[in-house]
Amino acid sequence: MAKADPGSNYIFEEIFNDPTMAATTHYSTAIDHSSGESATVLITTLVAATTLVATLQTSNDSGVLDAWADQTADGSKNDISVDIGTDVGTAQLNIPNPIKRYSRIKMVVTGTSCEIVATSCKGPRLEVIPTIATLD
């Protein structure tokens, strides 16, 4: 369930239904950027896996006609992925400039299972990329 912070207009929501993850690929619920909100995802590893990699994926319609695709380096300053490895602790994946309406996290767990909590924090733009006009 999403929870709003009335002081900042940010929305916090856990994006994986089950914190225990077997050694396979897992997908988060979609983060809706329909109002242009940026987001950051905090991934806290409680029990480490052999390897754990979180990758940002995007889609215009939550995978209905526009298939989910991994974020690529495109100048948007969005994080492409974070390699959590075998660490216990918290990692952060930033989406300051969503390139499509929806984002989600693809979590690849290899080796042993792990336990994580992933929370999205969505709200007004976290960063504005300035555009500099040139005069001819």
Q: Which residues pair with 53 in a beta bridge?
A: 83, 108
In a domain, 129, yes or no: no
76's tokens: 């948007």
Range of the domain at 114: 8-123
**Per-residue pLDDT tens digits for 50-67:** 888 999 999 999 999 999
Write the pLDDT tens digit of every residue in 89-120: 889 999 988 999 999 999 999 988 889 999 99
Q: Could you tell me the pTM of the whole model?
A: 0.84
CATH number of the domain enclosing 41 = 2.60.120.1110
133 found inside a domain: no
Q: How many domains does the chain have?
A: 1
Do 26 and 65 meet the contact criterion of CB atoms below 8 Å apart?
A: no
